[in-house]
Copies of this chain bind each other. A is one copy, B any other.
Amino acid sequence: MRTQAECYPCFLQQVVNTLEMMGVEHQRQCGILRGVMKTILRCPEDWSPPQVSAEVYGYIAEETGVKDPFREKKEESNRIAATMIPVLKEMIEKSDTPLLDAVKAAIAGNIIDFGVSHSFEIEDSKAILSLPLVVNHYPFFEEEIKESTTVLYLADNAGEIGFDSILIEQLVKMGKEVTVAVRSAPIINDATLEDARFFGIEKMAKLITSGSRAPGTPLSMVTPQFRAIFDQAHVVISKGQGNFETLDDAQRPIYFLLRAKCRVIAELLGVDLGSILLIKR
């Protein structure tokens, strides 16, 4: 998906939020914002938002000398997610529809704001497992998973990846060979190897980096190893908006699990803002 008009103010607002979080002094923020605009203008107009973001956050890292400004936030998200997972796993173990419930748990990880720690109750789990899917291609998904051997799972954010581990574990239990791909370098709050290992994903599946240092998976950036797995896997599961923005025009079928978090994506998908989707494209 190419960058839309509305993405431009959003890039800049996210940068302001990031610089604010980093405690960058206000006057200096202005200079960096102007540098960010120059960086954006150097990107081809048809790039996807995550491709542009990779350049923007690369510039900020260079300018501030901070390579992973979201490290602490990511660790906190992981810690909070970890407290929620046992209750969910227990409910899914008792469920008559464990795959569907694991899919819902994985989507819940895309929705929960891990910035706010609160005690996670059984009630919250029930709410998660009754999440309505606005576009619901689950019947196709279930069918294809049953017939498949190899699954490629594209992770999204820290914290969220803990919830992904529930679905990954479920797929492994069903006898699938699962490969989980994370970003190759820190970018915003996206999950890297460190976050995947926090949830022991390397023990249940094959864990790789995609080659992407963007908050998505631009195929122009991926490693040959990733590309081979991407092309050959029977099923590809893609989590979150960033992966969707970079893979919506890919030449193979993909199951996208995401929440439409901005108007651009909601409009593109023809759903209301905030809708939760499992969609095959």
A contact residues vs B (CB 8 Å cutoff): 2-6, 8-13, 15-16, 19, 26, 29-34, 37-38, 40-41, 45
Question: Which of B11, B13, B34 has a CB less than 8 Å from the CB of A41?
Answer: B34
Tell me which of A12, A16, A41 has the highest count of chain B C-beta atoms within 10 A of its own C-beta.
A12
User: How distant is A240 from chain B, measured CB to nearest CB, in Å?
Assistant: 22
Question: What residue of chain B has the Cβ atom nearest to residue A43's Cβ?
Answer: B34
Alpha-carbon distance between A241 and B34 when the two chains are bound, in angstroms? 23
Alpha-carbon distance between A33 and B5 when the two chains are bound, in angstroms? 6
**B45 with A37: CB separation less than 8 A:** no
CB-defined contacts of A41 to chain B, threshold 8 Å = 34, 37-38, 41
**A29 with B5: CB separation less than 8 A:** yes
Question: Which of B9, B29, B45 has a CB less than 8 Å from the CB of A13?
Answer: B9
Tell me which of A3, A8, A19 has the highest count of chain B C-beta atoms within 10 A of its own C-beta.
A8
**B30 with A45: CB separation less than 8 A:** yes
**B4 with A9: CB separation less than 8 A:** no
CB-defined contacts of A5 to chain B, threshold 8 Å = 16, 19, 26, 29-30, 32-33
**B16 with A33: CB separation less than 8 A:** no
CB-defined contacts of A38 to chain B, threshold 8 Å = 41
User: How distant is A265 from chain B, measured CB to nearest CB, in Å?
Assistant: 14
User: How distant is A260 from chain B, measured CB to nearest CB, in Å?
Assistant: 17
Alpha-carbon distance between A197 and B37 when the two chains are bound, in angstroms? 41
Question: What residue of chain B has the Cβ atom nearest to residue A12's Cβ?
Answer: B9
**Contact sample, A vs B, 5 pairs, CB 8 Å cutoff:** A5-B32, A8-B33, A9-B9, A9-B15, A30-B45
Alpha-carbon distance between A32 and B8 when the two chains are bound, in angstroms? 11
**B16 with A30: CB separation less than 8 A:** no
CB-defined contacts of A13 to chain B, threshold 8 Å = 9, 13
**B31 with A45: CB separation less than 8 A:** yes
**B3 with A9: CB separation less than 8 A:** no
CB-defined contacts of A10 to chain B, threshold 8 Å = 9
Alpha-carbon distance between A30 and B52 when the two chains are bound, in angstroms? 14
User: How distant is A76 from chain B, measured CB to nearest CB, in Å?
Assistant: 24
User: How distant is A231 from chain B, measured CB to nearest CB, in Å?
Assistant: 31
CB-defined contacts of A37 to chain B, threshold 8 Å = 8, 37, 40-41
**B26 with A4: CB separation less than 8 A:** yes
Alpha-carbon distance between A3 and B27 when the two chains are bound, in angstroms? 9
Question: What residue of chain B has the Cβ atom nearest to residue A36's Cβ?
Answer: B8
A8-B37, A37-B41 known; 6 new pairs, CB 8 Å cut-off, are: A5-B26, A8-B12, A8-B16, A9-B10, A9-B15, A34-B45
